[in-house]
């Protein structure tokens, strides 16, 4: 949308495929492509772009089979990856096969020519490289453009922010809670108006106001606390994160296949506990239950131990923590202020960070999370601006903005 004049872009989500409406560009993640492949084939698309193509390095996973099936009748296939080969030469074969099927039509020949074949007495292993110069020449002349990071470093931003839409599996529960929240805050608007009118009537000693056949008596309702609004909104946030948690775990699983380290920020302890239960052998955490005198040691483990791939934290870890062994951070949940959001991002974007930083936000689609992240992003830009040498005011939290948005009735979900 930023770099082209294309105006019909659709992001597909969910595991239940629907008839695809008119569009020029269709975007979806690897986790759901196998569910959508039949509908995508019907588009008769001319071009397929496979980002992070190392995710299809093996031919057996469902996503790889789906991409291969989708690409079969597509004229142009473009694959993008910073690490097309993560461990061994053989990993590139399936990517080549999808992009240029006739370049190496026989996998067995490819493996025996370029992948250092060794028979261990039980079968063949292909863990190395042979005829590397020949392979490089074929690839660069036919299918591969390689740009090293040091060659393009000046073109890269210091931080890249990416929002990933995720479906929730508790939509009915969410919709019920959302309706309750909206009804509550809109009723509070009516009460505020009645209070203003009552004050006017008391000031001028008016007992009734005649609106034709209707009369409005003095209203004596007490104003309800903003705490109730916050409580209901927090409940909505918790329902959202419960509903997207399976999708979050799938996303993390796919990220970890790259071999990189990842920093994960949450809000609620039940989310941290769920993630630690899943990734405890390769993860460390800092939350309120971790004593201050143990936190430096936990950070050191993450920074120095290659077996520890995940750092999981909440507000307890957003200050005075350096996590630069990772260059990727993901927000599973979001704080109420842009300042805290920025603090979390800066755990990986600090002095000693030598790589570009990517910040992901995993957002439940068609929920209040979309509005929260939209407002956070806007306020982040304000926060980054400098007037008279000082950051602009951080404007408290975004609760007021969220409540006002739904009070105005601008959106149904």
What is the pLDDT, as a whole number, of residue 153? 58
Residue 177 sits at the vertex; the CA angle it makes with 248 and 378, to the nearest 5 degrees, is 60
| The CATH number of domain 163-169+227-407, selected from 3.90.650.10, 3.30.1330.30, 1.20.140.10, 3.40.50.300 | 3.40.50.300
The pair of structure tokens assigned to 145 is 């453009």
**Shortest CA distance to 183 belongs to which of 216, 232, 134, 139?**
232
What is the pLDDT, as a whole number, of residue 152? 66
Q: What gap in Å lies between CA 400 and CA 340, rounded to an integer? A: 17
What is the pLDDT, as a whole number, of residue 14? 82
Q: What gap in Å lies between CA 56 and CA 91, rounded to an integer? A: 9
What is the pLDDT, as a whole number, of residue 54? 87
Q: What gap in Å lies between CA 403 and CA 228, rounded to an integer? A: 11
**Shortest CA distance to 333 belongs to which of 269, 253, 256?**
269
What is the pLDDT, as a whole number, of residue 386? 35
Q: Beta strand pairing status for 390-391 and 386-387?
A: antiparallel
Alpha helices, H only, 115-170: 132-142, 149-152
| Contact between 165 and 248 (Cβ < 8 Å) | no
* Cβ burial, residue 11 (10 Å; 0-12/13-18/19+): middle
For the chain, residues with pLDDT lower than 70 are 86-87, 149-150, 152-157, 185-186, 188-230, 351-352, 380-400, 402-404, 406-413
Q: Do domains 9-146 and 163-169+227-407 have the same CATH topology?
A: yes
Buried b (16+ CB within 10 A) or exposed e, 160-198: eeebbbbbbebbeebeebbeebbebbeebeeeeeeeeeb
Report CA-CA distances (Å) from 5 to 8, 9, 11, 369: 9, 11, 17, 28
Task: Show me where the domains of the chain are located.
Answer: 9-146, 163-169+227-407, 171-226
C-alpha 248, offset from chain centre: 8
What is the pLDDT, as a whole number, of residue 155? 64
**Shortest CA distance to 117 belongs to which of 104, 126, 105, 106?**
126
What is the pLDDT, as a whole number, of residue 406? 67
- CATH top-level class of 9-146: alpha beta
Residues 6+ apart with CB under 8 A from 138: 103
Report CA-CA distances (Å) from 72 to 19, 45, 66, 195, 359: 21, 11, 10, 67, 34
Q: What gap in Å lies between CA 371 and CA 413, rounded to an integer? A: 10
**Residue position matching structure tokens 């299918």:** 143
The pair of structure tokens assigned to 257 is 């296949």
pTM higher than 0.85? no
């Amino acid at each position: 949308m930023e770099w082209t004049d294309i105006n019909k872009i659709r992001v597909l989500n969910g595991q239940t495929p629907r008839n695809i409406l008119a569009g020029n560009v269709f975007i979806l993640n690897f986790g759901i492509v196998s569910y959508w492949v039949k509908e995508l084939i019907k588009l008769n698309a001319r071009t397929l772009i496979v980002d992070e193509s190392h995710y299809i390095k093996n031919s057996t996973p469902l996503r790889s089979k789906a991409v291969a099936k989708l690409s079969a009748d597509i004229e142009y296939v473009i694959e993008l990856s910073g690490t097309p080969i993560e461990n061994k030469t053989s990993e590139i074969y399936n990517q080549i096969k999808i992009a240029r099927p006739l370049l190496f039509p026989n996998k067995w020949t490819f493996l025996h020519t370029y992948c250092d074949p060794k028979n261990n007495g039980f079968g063949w292993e292909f863990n190395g490289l042979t005829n590397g110069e020949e392979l490089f020449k074929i690839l660069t002349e036919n299918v591969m453009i390689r740009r090293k990071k040091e060659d393009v470093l000046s073109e890269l931003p210091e931080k890249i922010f990416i929002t990933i839409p995720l479906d929730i599996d508790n939509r009915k529960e969410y919709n019920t809670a959302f309706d309750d929240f909206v009804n509550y805050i809109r009723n509070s608007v009516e009460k505020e108006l009645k209070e203003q009118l009552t004050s006017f009537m008391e000031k001028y000693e008016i007992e009734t106001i005649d609106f034709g056949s209707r009369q409005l008596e003095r209203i004596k309702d007490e104003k309800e606390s903003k705490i109730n609004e916050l409580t209901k909104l927090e409940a909505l946030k918790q329902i959202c994160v419960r509903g997207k948690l399976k999708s979050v775990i799938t996303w993390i699983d796919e990220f970890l296949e790259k071999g990189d380290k990842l920093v994960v920020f949450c809000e609620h302890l039940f989310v941290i506990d769920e993630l630690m239960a899943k990734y405890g052998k390769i993860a460390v955490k800092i939350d309120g239950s971790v004593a201050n005198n143990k936190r430096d040691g936990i950070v050191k483990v993450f920074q120095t131990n290659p077996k520890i791939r995940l750092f999981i934290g909440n507000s307890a870890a957003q200050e005075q923590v350096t996590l630069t062994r990772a260059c990727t951070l993901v927000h599973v949940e979001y704080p109420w202020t842009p300042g805290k959001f920025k603090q979390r991002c800066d755990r990986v974007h600090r002095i000693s960070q030598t790589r570009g930083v990517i910040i992901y936000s995993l957002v439940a689609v068609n929920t209040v999370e979309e509005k929260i992240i939209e407002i956070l992003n806007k306020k982040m830009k304000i926060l980054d601006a400098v007037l008279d040498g000082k950051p602009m005011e951080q404007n408290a939290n975004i609760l007021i903005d969220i409540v006002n948005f739904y009070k105005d009735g601008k959106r149904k979900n």
